[in-house]
A and B are shown apart, each in its own frame.
Chain A
Amino acid sequence: MIEPVRGRRISVEVNGERHERDVEARRLLVHFLRDDLDLTGTHVGCDTGNCGACTVIVDGLAVKSCMMLAVQADGSSVETVEGLARDGELHPLQQAFSSFHALQCGYCTPGMLMSAKHLLDHNSEPTESEIRRAIQGNICRCTGYVNIVEAIAATARGEVSG
């Protein structure tokens, strides 16, 4: 009988830095980020892929990192919330979220920011309905989304600088 492979060495670039680790085959990408790399900005809010708190960008695609295995990210480039600010300067989306009071407890915020970044990376002039569609996979229980939508729209309009 052939033993199934229980783990593998993977190499993943996260926020521009390459990491090599041995991981269990069943390790979720989100737990690889949080527990192995100690990048705890990416959060877990459900166990069914509904809430989007764990959203990161993998090779240019917004991905719920609880729905992807770490081994599937082998060789990829991952962007997380920790990579948004540069040299102590907030990303315009981060600044806008603060200015528009688009966060209260801040738990959904990292995933929300990554979904918003993915949107603006691909659509520099989104309509309100496009913004709402882009974050429909991200649940926020605090804000009712009003200020989140405004913050993303203002960033797109270039009204906020980082």
Chain B
Amino acid sequence: MSETTVTTDQPITLGEQEVAPGFIGQNVPRKEDRRLVQGEGVFVDDVKRHGMAYVHFARSPYAHAAIARIDVSRALELEGVYGTLIGEEVAAETDAFFQIAPPPGGDLKDYALAVGRVRHVGEPVVAVAAATRELARDAAELVEVDYEPLEPVLDPESAAAPDMPQLHDEVPSNTIWQGNFDYGDYDAALAEADKVVRIKRLHFHRFSSTPLETSGAVVEYNRGTGQWTIHSNNQFPGFAIIMMAPALRVGMDKLRFVSQDIGGGFGNKICTHVQLVAMCLLARKLRRAVNWTEWRTDQHTANSHGNERVFLDVEVPVKADGTLLGFKARMIDDCGAYTRYEPLGCIIWAQVTPGCYRWRHVRVDFSQVCTNKSPCGPNRGYSRMQHLWFTERIIDIVAHELRVDPVEIRKRNYIRADEMPYETPNGCVYDSGDYARCLDEALALIEYDGIEAKRRDAESRGRLLGVGIGSTLDSGTNNFGQATLVNPELQFSGNNEVATVKLDIFGEIVVTLGTTPQGQSHETTAAQVVADILQVSPDDVNVRAGHDSYWNSHAGFSGTYASQFAVTGLGAVKGATETLAGQIKQIGAAILGADSPDDVELGGGFVKRKDNPEAALPFMACGAIVNANNAVLPLELRELTLNCRYVYVPPHQMPDQERKYGNLTLTYATQIHACVVEVDPETGVYEIVDYGAVDDCGVRINPQIVEGQVQGATAQAIGAATHETFVYDEDGNLLTPNFYDYHVPHALDMPPLKTAYIESPSPFTPLGAKGMGEGGGAGLSAVASALQDALRGSGRPIVSDSSNPYNTVWELLRNPEESRQLVEVEDR
């Protein structure tokens, strides 16, 4: 257990009126660190079992091809090869995965291995299991597959065209889902406008957070009970079990998910249920434990990419004073070859429909197509990031075209602090926040007041200086009822998370979480909450590391995803601990002869009489009495267990399916970023010379941990804006399948990063905290914004892509007219 050196000096609110000094709000050192800095964590590839087989997937070299023949005989001849698994076996022994989309998109068949056809480069075709990693790889090379190549579909904008080949026989026009969203009165807004800004096309590129630990699993099958134990780094076991159990034709309890430490997830480890089913089949077939550790190249080519999205025919009605009235757009989302979490991305953007702005009239035609590229799935900022980048691009392009100050136009149009809680045009309720104040803070961080002098200084050095702003929201604790807006037949809604807190025989406080943390410090923050309620130190609280679905601290939505632990996870911890505290008081009152539990209090590991603190019972005695000495207890107290399970359920309602209307998430944390770039006009090479990030996630349970999340999210956004991109060639080969070609930020790439905070407590959550950590991708907007500002004296090009490597900037400098063709302004 780690040492805690902080003292209790910040008041917290307990229950209704009680106030006590607490650990919430303190930089309590992380409980996780002691094992992790010594290399004593247990990540999935650290798990070993006797006689374990290592699995390697033989993968498709084609983007689109029919499988004519598979021959594994040469692989099986190799000494030390235990066996193989092919698509035919998978199709016979499992059912295709449940689909979220309604028909016809939802009719597509997705199995653990390719069945009859491959639909992207890197798609697993045959699994080979052998005594060593190296041997499994050798054997996979001996697998013979005859392919009959088909024409690939790679461009989302033409994927639905009538002459395009079809990826899935069941899905006409390669269209997974289409829906219209109409809020306010867009036609009236257009009629009222003094100017209309039209943008032909904006593009949000493909990338992913590429966690440093690749996906993996060690799967064991118990033949006697028919149970699988799945040691994995899957970050959303609740979802994985729902997907896997029907596919494997077993009850949910036959799938036990276990993890301790996970090496980053960022959403990319949600959809591993596909490979996990192949592992389950192999473990059963081979009668031995199987290990699968994904190669880096495989993670890039065939794991889970962030969604690519195109925004077409964008129309923005604006008043003469710079008030924006709304927007209209046609959006095409590319989900890759299969729908694994999709088409949820088709609705999740709507959590932040107006972004940070007060415009009320929105008309969106949203469709999602499949293409012969890696399947997409959640990726830090999932679906909202794409949409928020779109709204920020609108703001900057309108400001640029109407020659309005980008700071002023934001302040004029931001939702105001005194309007909170604010109901958006589609019925979401922004809980709290002060965007204008955050912007002022961000501008102060980059010393915006002196920016013109810096601009001149840069010019004197032959550099173009630009300032950009990114205003985003990190919506958290989502209402799964939004899934019914893409498919009314789905039986999903609300959300939940579980924790158990118990007091053991020797007085040990043990906390069990339902979550699967990947660096979010759940052990530490949970201990802070427990410590405050039980009036002990976080050192006295033992939070079990990791996740085990057999711990009974698990619910349908258990996992770590979508910015919610501070609300759902800690809400559950708070609920369970308050129940435990109540039970300790009941026992204390009875043993100490007090009239009622209200006459005792907790402190220093004791329950004490308020009127006589000398009369005190140590927690250890309470634990011992209930667990091992309960004949001394009055009969009416014998139902107390000191083992308290609590399920936190947020107050969500079913959204209106007809109008696609309702509150889709409980909290909305704010990120306002400001970025300063200097561009070399000769080459397009640029440097981020200053960067300020302001975050407002309500009450911060542990400010140091919050800051770490802000820094990390910013680094990922800057990486995505500047270098990271999944590029495919015309045959559908991924050109960036490893860290050579897919350049993530290194220590030398990161600009100086300044952070600041305001706290607008959420009125809707147990601790006033909001989910945070995804960060909304504000950096993507800020970099695009800064580049457009820097280039305004060089032909006024329009930044229309979220990916802006140096060569793109050079193209904008070389031919600004081409990008200018994307925009036109109609004066009324």
B212 in contact with A53 (CB, 8 Å): yes
Does B413 interact with chain A (Cβ within 8 Å)?
no
The CA-CA distance from A161 to B177 in the complex, in Å, is 58
- Are A146 and B711 touching (Cβ within 8 A)? yes
Is the beta-carbon distance between B747 and A46 smaller than 8 angstroms? no
Q: Please report which residues of chain B, range 733-747, place their CB below 8 angstroms from some CB of chain A when the two chains form the complex.
A: 738-740, 744-747
The 8 Å CB contact of B519, one of A104, A133, A138, is A104
Asked if B214 is at the interface of the complex by the 8 Å CB criterion, the answer is yes
87-123 of chain A: CB within 8 A of chain B: 90, 94-95, 97-99, 101, 103-110, 113
Inside 8 A of B740's CB, which chain A residues have their CB?
48, 50
- Cβ of A85: which chain B residues have Cβ within 8 Å of it? 38
A90 contacts B37, CB within 8 Å?
A: yes
A99 nearest in chain B by CB position: B29
Interface flags, A132-156, vs B, CB<8A=1, else 0: 1101111111111111110000000
B149 at the interface (CB under 8 A from A): no
Give the residues in chain B near A27, CB-CB below 8 Å: 134
Q: Return chain A residues, CB-CB under 8 Å to B134.
A: 24, 26-27
Chain B residues near A110 (CB-CB < 8 A): 39
CB of A126 within 8 Å of the partner chain: no
The closest CB in chain A to the CB of B520 belongs to A104
Contact A105 B213 (CB under 8 A): yes
Asked if B43 is at the interface of the complex by the 8 Å CB criterion, the answer is yes
Does B103 sit at the interface, judged by CB under 8 A? no
| Structural contact, B212 and A140, CB atoms closer than 8 A | yes
Contacts of B212 in A (CB 8 A): 43, 45, 51, 53, 105, 107-108, 139-141
Quick check: B708 and A136 within 8 Å, CB to CB?
no
Q: Are A143 and B715 interface neighbours, CB within 8 A?
A: yes
Assuming the A-B contacts A44-B45, A45-B296, A104-B521, are A141 and B739 also in contact, with contact meaning beta carbons closer than 8 angstroms in the complex? no
A106 to B295, CA, bound (A): 19
Q: Decide: A145 and B39 in contact? CB cutoff 8 A.
A: no
Q: How far is the CA of A81 from the CA of B40 in the complex (A)?
A: 9
For chain B residues 716-750, which have a beta carbon within 8 Å of chain A?
716, 738-740, 744-748, 750
Asked if A65 CB lies within 8 Å of chain B CBs, one says: no
Is B33 part of the contact surface with A, judged by Cβ < 8 Å?
Answer: yes
In the complex, identify which listed stretch (B260-268, B362-370, B617-625) lies at the interface while the others stay far away: B260-268
CA distance A144 to B42 in the complex (A): 23
Checking B36, B45, B745 against A103 with a beta-carbon cut-off of 8 angstroms, the contacting residue is: B36
Interface string of B508-523 (1 = CB under 8 A from A): 0000000000111100
Flag if A141 contacts B708 (CB, 8 Å): no
* Nearest-neighbor residue (CB-CB) of A84 within chain B: B38
Residues from chain B with Cβ under 8 Å of A132 in the complex: 747-748
Bound CA span A38–B45, Å: 11
Rounded to whole angstroms, the CA-CA distance of A151 and B691 in the bound complex is: 21
In the bound complex, residues from chain B placing their C-beta under 8 Å from that of A135 are 747
In this complex, the interface size class of chain B, counting residues with CB under 8 Å from chain A, is 35 or more
Whether, in the assembled complex, A82 has its beta carbon less than 8 Å from a beta carbon of chain B, the answer is: yes
Q: Which size class do A's interface residues fall under?
A: 35 or more
Are A144 and B296 in contact, with the CB atoms below 8 A? no
The answer to whether B209 has its CB under 8 Å from any CB of chain A is yes
Interchain CB contact (< 8 A) of A90 among B38, B214, B519, B745: B38
Residues from 3 to 41 in A contacting B, C-beta threshold 8 Å: 24, 26-27, 31, 34, 38-41
A47 within 8 A of B: yes
The reply to whether B748 and A141 form a contact with Cβ atoms under 8 Å apart is no
A95 to B262, CA, bound (A): 21
CA distance A141 to B45 in the complex (A): 19
Q: Does B792 contact A (CB under 8 A)?
A: no
- The complex places the Cα of A147 from the Cα of B33 at a distance, in Å, of 14
* Min distance, Cβ A157 to any Cβ of chain B, angstroms: 19
- Within 8 Å CB of A146, what residues of B? 711, 750, 753
Residues of A within 8 A of B178 (CB): none
* Interface residue B210 (Cβ < 8 Å from any Cβ of A): yes
Which residues of the partner chain B approach A43 to less than 8 Å between Cβ atoms?
43, 212-213, 263
Tell me the bound Cα distance from A66 to B39 in angstroms: 17
> A46, B739: Cβ atoms under 8 Å?
yes
Option from B39, B46, B716 in Cβ contact (under 8 Å) with A80: B39
Give chain B residues whose Cβ lies under 8 Å from the Cβ of A45.
212-214, 263, 296
Residue of B nearest to A146 (CB): B711
Contact A139 B705 (CB under 8 A): no
Q: How far is the CA of A115 from the CA of B462 in the complex (A)?
A: 37
In the complex, the chain A residue whose C-beta lies closest to that of B709 is A104
Query: How far is B519's CA from A141's CA once the two chains are assembled, in angstroms?
Result: 11
Residues from chain A with Cβ under 8 Å of B45 in the complex: 34, 40, 44
Given A82-B38, A141-B266: A104 and B738 interface contact (C-beta under 8 Å) = no
Query: Do A106 and B211 touch (CB < 8 A)?
Result: no
State how many angstroms separate the Cβ of B353 from the closest Cβ of chain A. 29
Q: Which of B365-385 contact A (CB under 8 A)?
A: none
Chain B: CB-nearest residue to A134: B747
Q: How close is B688's CB to chain A, nearest CB, in angstroms?
A: 12
B213 touches A81 (CB 8 A): no
> Can you list 5 contacts pairing A with B, beta carbon distance less than 8 Å?
A40-B42, A45-B212, A97-B33, A105-B518, A137-B746
5 other contacts beyond A40-B42, A108-B212, with CB at 8 A cut-off? A27-B134, A48-B296, A103-B33, A104-B709, A106-B263
B-side residues, CB < 8 A to A, are 2, 29-30, 32-34, 36-43, 45-46, 48, 133-134, 209-214, 261-264, 266, 293, 295-297, 518-521, 704-705, 707-709, 711-712, 714-716, 738-740, 744-748, 750, 753
The 6 A-B residue pairs with the shortest CB-CB distance, nearest first, are: A41-B39, A107-B263, A106-B36, A144-B715, A104-B519, A105-B519
